[in-house]
């Protein structure tokens, strides 16, 4: 059996964030031997694409820092506190793009300002984008897989923890889906 997919440029349109099929995750190394993975809930995200291939799109997202989930309740409560994310003071993680450039067929680089723990820094992330028509409801959907790395100390998180105990490098990965209005 052969299944064929056809991708064609999508004209400029309004897009609605699909929270049920989107997530923000991270991975950090603990004691130089084990990676700890976690997630945050994305509260909202937007994309405005003036071009059919998403070149020069404008992207924003807001995640709930208090929704951190590492599959360990005691660790999650500690991470919400002043030693790490201090979610009582800094409840949101935000990103606002400054550029969205096509690298090749479905590959992009998105640059923008990441605000975390009260500190805003420029970051550049890799993006793989796909569009297709959902066979169930016939609506056009766009999905973006975003990956990159940030340093926790750049954002003032656990600055006294030595790198041997908790890696400074944090891998970020997000999967974000939008539905064409």
At residue 11, the pLDDT reads 53
The two beta strands, 169-180 and 34-48, are unpaired
pLDDT band at 52 (very low <50, low <70, confident <90, very high): confident
Could you give the C-alpha distances from 116 to 63, 86, 134, 176, in angstroms and in order? Answer: 10, 10, 34, 19
Fold of the 15-180 domain: Lipocalin (2.40.128)
Nearest CA to 146 out of 180, 117, 178 is that of 178
pLDDT band at 9 (very low <50, low <70, confident <90, very high): low
Residues with Cβ < 8 Å from 33, sequence gap 6 or more? none
Helix (H, G, I), strand (E, B) or coil at 89: coil
Separation of alpha carbons 24 and 174, rounded Å: 4
Q: Is the pLDDT of residue 7 over 70?
A: no
Q: What is the mean pLDDT of residues 35-41?
A: 98
Please write the tens of the pLDDT for every residue from 53-85: 999 999 999 999 999 999 999 999 999 999 899
Q: What is the mean pLDDT of residues 102-115?
A: 96
Residue 122, strand partner residues: 113
Pair 8, 53: CB distance under 8 Å: no
Separation of alpha carbons 104 and 175, rounded Å: 19
Q: Is the pLDDT of residue 1 over 50?
A: no
pTM of the model: 0.89
3-state helix vs strand vs coil in the chain, percent to 5: 10, 55, 35
Separation of alpha carbons 81 and 63, rounded Å: 17
């Amino acid at each position: 059996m052969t299944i064929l997919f056809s991708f064609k440029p999508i004209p400029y349109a309004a897009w609605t964030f699909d929270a049920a099929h989107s997530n923000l995750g991270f991975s950090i190394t603990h004691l130089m031997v084990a990676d700890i993975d976690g997630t945050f809930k994305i509260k909202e995200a937007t994309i405005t694409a003036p071009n059919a291939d998403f070149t020069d799109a404008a992207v924003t997202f807001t995640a709930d820092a208090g929704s951190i989930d590492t599959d360990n309740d005691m660790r999650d409560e500690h991470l919400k506190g002043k030693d790490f994310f201090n979610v009582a003071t800094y409840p949101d993680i935000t990103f606002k793009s400054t550029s969205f450039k096509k690298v090749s067929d479905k590959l992009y680089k998105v640059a923008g300002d990441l605000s975390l723990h009260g500190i805003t820094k420029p970051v550049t992330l890799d993006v793989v984008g796909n569009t297709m028509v959902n066979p169930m409801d016939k609506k056009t959907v766009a999905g973006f897989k975003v990956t990159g790395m940030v340093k926790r100390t750049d954002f003032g998180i656990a600055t006294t923890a030595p790198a041997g105990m908790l890696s400074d490098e944090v891998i970020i990965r997000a999967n974000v889906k939008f539905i064409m209005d």
